[in-house]
Amino acid sequence: MAIREILVYPDPRLREPGTPVERVDDEIRRLVDDMAETMYAAPGVGLAAPQIGVARRIFVIDVAGEDEPSNLRVFVNPEITSLEGTQSYREGCLSFPGVNEEIKRAERVRVRALDASGQPFELEADGLLAVAIQHENDHLDGVLMIDKVTPLKRRMMSRKVARAREEAPA
């Protein structure tokens, strides 16, 4: 396992849609392990493969609280099959350091995907897990949280990211 570099906006690779995974093999499982290690080290609650420069349709999520045991979920070739309701949630993103913005998303989602063993599963989610699934799935399509805010907020987000990059240790 290895911690990978997380791409930061406006890196153009964040806009590349992920390609489907043909089969879940040892290479994909190593990638998933690296993604999980990278996400936990950041720390974050989700990470999509395009965020580490790998244009594949994979993301990992763990929304367990600090005092709860880890609950890593792996989504390979996810497909959101239904969205219900609406909610606003203050989201952050590892590719937008120092930025948190209120984003409107569906309140409940149903997703179909493969797990880290290549086994298909379906999941219904609400709350933070639903938000994380939608956020990470957007990354697989080259859609970023900055695309979901007003032009004024976009400018403010871009400035915050630029400031965070300047202040980050080399």
Domain boundaries, the chain: 12-167
pLDDT at position 129 is 98
pTM above 0.75, yes or no: yes
pLDDT at position 155 is 92
Active-site residue 136, yes or no?
yes
Question: Which tens digit of pLDDT belongs to each residue from 76-113?
Answer: 999 999 999 999 999 999 999 989 999 999 999 999 99
Catalytic residue among 107, 136, 166, 167: 136
pLDDT at position 116 is 97
Q: Which two tokens stand for residue 115?
A: 């797990």
Q: Which CATH number fits domain 12-167: 3.90.45.10, 3.30.70.890, 3.30.70.270, 3.30.2130.30?
A: 3.90.45.10
Measured between alpha carbons, how far is 47 from 14 in angstroms, rounded to an integer? 12
CB contact at 8 A, 99 and 93: yes
Bridge partners, residue 69, by sequence = none
- For the chain (170 residues), the mean pLDDT of every run of 10, in chain order, is 94 97 98 98 97 98 93 98 97 94 97 98 97 98 95 90 78
pLDDT at position 125 is 98
CB contact at 8 A, 51 and 141: no
CB contact at 8 A, 160 and 8: no
